[in-house]
Structure 1
């Protein structure tokens, strides 16, 4: 078993690795579209391969996870059309940050409940790969909003701290922890991901006719990358 402190540091490092990849390449329109295609596939894969299967077994009640998922989508609709409105690509970056933060906080709370038990190597590897994909997708989306690398690095820094915060909350609330809170956050993030991916990223990536085969290839690669952690969920350490 890997100690909680070591696991936390490795997951933070995974965020920095993923978030730094888009910064290693010179900013160009073609490269940005490739990264956004990859991010779009990752967001869609996260929704349909991870979040929805987790929520599917929790149907029931007036405030079921599906209602919260709709709430997450409508929240971004309101932010986009009413509050952000004319600021162009702002919702792509900030919406991605909001949705990923919901998701990371929920995951952190769930891990915090089990913090004292430590982490199996296979499970930690799956989590780390997922964090790399999340941070890469976030950095790619934020490049539409933030031109300065310093601002982008600050956004990545903030995101890297969300998971440890969730773990601390889960640890502090483990005796009274209810899965309901984590399910609500996961549902909100699913709705946010869907709106950002379908409402903004897909139109942004494919509004130009050129290079569509390459863009589709990167999109499918993003879905495949989102699926990789599924292979690490079964084995124990």
Structure 2
């Protein structure tokens, strides 16, 4: 039943923008809300999760003989730097793919929007998968699992909504967007169904790399692509700022629901 709810919420959120006839001005205004949701996802969900993984990798290392727990062990902290290196790799990968592979002299803007939409799909897809795996792992703790499910339901629809608006901005065909929504809606349920198996196969290292790459992708897409696109024109600037803040506030509220 939980899987059905998560799927339906994502499908509804992703389909909603397709029911509206957008002008370019209205689409960019809606994109402000979507960008706020993306920013909230990366800074309030993905990066904190990565930080917990990083801290865990340090805490679980054996304390050198003769050391006191309160002594500075900064010399063992290098083991977690690979996670942040993967974040950097995610940022550079999206930039290089967009600049060297997808961009042409004739269709710079169209290819840029397409690259942004695909990068956003990858980043949110990884985030959705890890959320499903986290829910599967929390099932042994009923109160934790229930709160996490509520948080997943709360923001899943808005993330799907945001993805659809980004793909619309890229000029994707309606049929392609629908298939994207269906695929995205299935990712978290897949993580919920196969969470234990996926986690065992990938291990802590694999999950850490995935999360770090997603964080890097998110950072580049949000700060270097979506924000400039939202404020590309000066009209409705304060409305767009307001929607941006609302999107961030929504993700903050949903993050609190998960605790």
TM-score clears 0.5? yes
**How far apart are 1:147 and its partner, in Å?**
4.2
In structure 2, relative to structure 1, the CA distance for the partners of 1:175 and 1:101 (3 Å cut) is closer
| Contact 1:146–1:152 (CA under 8 A) maintained in structure 2 | no
Counterpart position of 2:127: 103
The 2-side partners of 1:194 and 1:166 are apart by 23
1:198 has 2:193 as partner? no
| Contact 2:131–2:152 (CA under 8 A) maintained in structure 1 | no
Deviates more, 1:33-42 or 1:15-24: 15-24
**How far apart are 1:117 and its partner, in Å?**
6.7
The 2-side partners of 1:84 and 1:214 are apart by 32
For structure 1, the 5+ residue unaligned runs are: 1-5
The 2-side partners of 1:154 and 1:121 are apart by 29
**How far apart are 1:10 and its partner, in Å?**
1.0
The 2-side partners of 1:188 and 1:139 are apart by 22
Counterpart position of 1:179: 204
The 2-side partners of 1:129 and 1:73 are apart by 28
Structure 2 length normalisation: TM-score? 0.80
**How far apart are 1:36 and its partner, in Å?**
0.9
For structure 2, the 5+ residue unaligned runs are: 56-76, 105-110
The 1-side partners of 2:113 and 2:202 are apart by 37
The 1-side partners of 2:85 and 2:2 are apart by 33
RMSD: 2.2
Counterpart position of 1:69: 87
| Contact 1:72–1:191 (CA under 8 A) maintained in structure 2 | yes
The 2-side partners of 1:172 and 1:218 are apart by 39
In structure 2, relative to structure 1, the CA distance for the partners of 1:7 and 1:109 (3 Å cut) is same
| Contact 1:115–1:171 (CA under 8 A) maintained in structure 2 | no
Please state whether the residue corresponding to 1:210 is helix, strand or coil.
coil
The 1-side partners of 2:180 and 2:229 are apart by 22
Please state whether the residue corresponding to 2:99 is helix, strand or coil.
helix
| Contact 1:105–1:185 (CA under 8 A) maintained in structure 2 | no
The 2-side partners of 1:147 and 1:78 are apart by 22
Greater helix share, structure number: 2
**How far apart are 1:219 and its partner, in Å?**
0.7
